[in-house]
Structure 1
Amino acid sequence: MPVSLTRPLAPEPYAMLPHVASFELVSEDVRHGEPLPDAVQAPPGGDASPQLSWSGFPAATRSFLVNVFDPDAPGVSGFWHWVLVDVPVTTTSLARGAGAPDGTRVPSGSFHVRGDHGLAGYEGAAPPHGDRPHRYYIAVHALDVERLGVTVGAMPGAVSIEGVRHTLARGVLMGTAQR
C-alpha cells in the first residue's frame, strides 16, 4: 500500500516541550531547512552521522545528549535515527561518522542506544519513496547531570523523556530528505 502524500505534517517536536534556552549548533554537513547531503542519508548515500559543533550552552551544563529524529515518518511516533548519551561537557563537536555503530568514534564515556532501526548508532535519512519531504531534527541537549542514568538497552523515547527532565538548553538543526 503506497504512503499517502496528503497526511498532515507532524508538529515540530521541540515546540511541544517546555521552553528552554537555545545555543548555537552548526554543521559542515547540514544547513538548517535545506536538503540533507547524500553523505548523511541511508544507502545508497554515505550513511554517516553529520559533523556537528556547538557553543554558547549554559555554564551549568554537565553533559550533552545528541539525537536525530524524523517526526514525519509514517507511524504514530516518528522515527529515531540516532541517540548518543552522556557526551562529556568538554566535548563541543563530533566528526562526521561519529555515529558509527561500532561506537569507536564517540567520546569516552558516551554511548549509543538503539534507534528505531533496531541498532545502536546512526542510521541515515530514508523516507519512503514517493512521500513528501521529511524533516530530520538534529538536536544537542545541554543537561544538568553528568550521567543521564539510562543504559545501553534503553529505548530512544525513554531516553528523550529522561533528557527533557534534565535539559537546560538545546541547539537544533533541521534538514530535509525526500526519495
Structure 2
Amino acid sequence: MNYNPYALALPAIEFDLRSDDFENGGALPASCYNTEAGANRSPALAWSGLPDGTRSLVITAFDADAPIPGGLWHWAIKDVPAAAGSIKADAGASGGSNLPAGALTLTNDLGQAAYSGVRPPPGTGTHRLFVCATALSVDHLELPPAASLAMLNIVMIPHTLGRAVIVGTSDAPA
C-alpha cells in the first residue's frame, strides 16, 4: 500500500527522529511484536533539531496497513518534555514507569494505556508502523478524560511546531 497518514496533515517543520532498534523503512525487531516470539516492547526513540519554541512532544505509533477502516493506533504518549531528547526502549510499558517525568500514555485503539506491539493478521502482508513525534509549543496538552486518539490529533493542531516520522515494517504470517 502507498497510503501515508501524514500526507494530508497540516505542514510542519521537519526535525530528526531516530531509533536504535530499527532503521527508517526497515523491519521492526521481534521485541516490538506482540507475539510469543516478541516482547511487546516499544522501540527506543531519540530526537534532535527541534523547532524553536518546542516545549513538549506527542509520540504516536500507527499501523496504516491494518485491515480495518482507519488503521490501528498502537501507541500514544503526550507531554514528553522536549529536553528529554529521547525515550528508552519499553517506555510504552503499562503504568508508564519508563516514561520521562510528566509524560502520559493515552489509551490506544486496543483499549490499553500502553504500547501494543505489532501483530499483523495472517495473510495481510507487510504492514508499516508510522512512528511520529510532534513538537508542540505547550508543556501540557489539555485533553478531556478518555479522549480518543482522533481528538488528540485535533487538539494538537494549533500547538504543532514540527513533525518527524520514521517507519518500521512488520510481516504477517503467511
TM-score by length of 2: 0.94
Instruction: Give the aligned partner of residue 6 of structure 1.
Output: none
State the number of aligned residues.
171
- Distance in 2 (alpha carbons) for counterparts of 1:128 and 1:93: 31
- Distance in 1 (alpha carbons) for counterparts of 2:167 and 2:157: 19
- Distance in 2 (alpha carbons) for counterparts of 1:102 and 1:164: 27
Tell me how far 1:62 sits from its aligned partner. Answer: 1.3
Structure 1 position 106 matched with structure 2 position 99: yes
Which stretches in structure 1 are left out of the alignment for 5+ residues? 1-8
Instruction: Give the aligned partner of residue 26 of structure 1.
Output: 18
RMSD: 1.2
Q: Which runs of 4+ in 1 moved over 4 A?
A: none
Instruction: Give the aligned partner of residue 76 of structure 2.
Output: 83
Question: What one-letter code is carried by the residue in structure 2 that aligns with 1:60?
Answer: G
- Distance in 1 (alpha carbons) for counterparts of 2:90 and 2:31: 9
Structure 1 position 43 matched with structure 2 position 31: no
Question: What one-letter code is carried by the residue in structure 1 that aligns with 2:120?
Answer: P
Question: What one-letter code is carried by the residue in structure 2 that aligns with 1:77?
Answer: G
Instruction: Give the aligned partner of residue 63 of structure 1.
Output: 56
Structure 1 position 169 matched with structure 2 position 162: yes
Bigger mean CA offset, 143-152 vs 124-133: 143-152
Question: What one-letter code is carried by the residue in structure 2 that aligns with 1:47?
Answer: N
Q: Provide, for residues 19-44 of structure 1, a one-character-per-residue CA deviation record: whole Å limited to 9, x for no partner.
A: 11110101000211111110111122
Q: Cα 1:165–1:126, aligned 2, differ >3 Å: closer, same or farther?
A: farther
Instruction: Give the aligned partner of residue 135 of structure 1.
Output: 128
